[in-house]
Amino acid sequence: MKTVLVILVCLLVVVIVLLFVLGVMSRSGKLPGMQDGALLPCPNTPNCVCSEYADDSRHFIEPIDLSGNDVSESLGMLKALIREMGGSVQSEQADYLAATFSSALFGFVDDLELRADPSAGLIHVRSASRVGRGDQGVNRKRVETLKAMFMSRAAGQVDQSE
């Protein structure tokens, strides 16, 4: 019985050390960025969502509909919402915004990227974990929360301007 307990404690220690190492690895990574003017496709892991590639049903998520809102104002609003949600904006360009989110326990870093497509009236989004395979749906939930907050705030601005 004592041997089993020692083995279980050793396994637990190994798992915790591994999680800390993965957390450190994710913090040393970098933002994916864009390729040929588009967000990168998701890797073949379940810890990523992206609106650029509708044919990738496993990772697809609907983009943010601008519904006639100004692109730069919308990106500014999204930047503020990302900060409200605990994210940190890392890169900002006229039609692109990149941010990171870190988990509380082990410091795992997830990347969130937004690319404005004014001609389509959309903001494409990609959210992905830097390490590991699973994310318990965190990236999809984060994007859905951001979209809901944006739609609510954008609707409030329209009501105030009328």
For the segment 74-132, what is each residue's pLDDT rounded down to a tens digit? 999 999 999 999 999 999 998 999 999 988 777 788 999 999 999 999 999 999 998 77
The distance between the two most distant Cα atoms of the chain, rounded to a whole number of Å, is: 73
The pLDDT of residue 13 is 72
Helix (H) or strand (E) holding 31: none
Which helix (H) or strand (E) segment is 108 a member of?
none
What single-letter DSSP state applies at residue 137? Answer: T
- Helix (H, G, I), strand (E, B), or coil: what is residue 11? helix
Strands 48-50 vs 96-102: parallel, antiparallel or unpaired? unpaired
User: Is the pLDDT higher at 66 or at 159?
Assistant: 66
Q: Evaluate if residue 162 carries a pLDDT over 50.
A: no
- Tokens of residue 124, six digits: 């494409």
Phi/psi-derived region of residue 149, left when phi > 0, alpha when psi is between -120 and 50, beta in every other case: alpha
pTM above 0.75, yes or no: yes
Q: How confident is the model at residue 42 (pLDDT cuts 50, 70, 90)?
A: very high
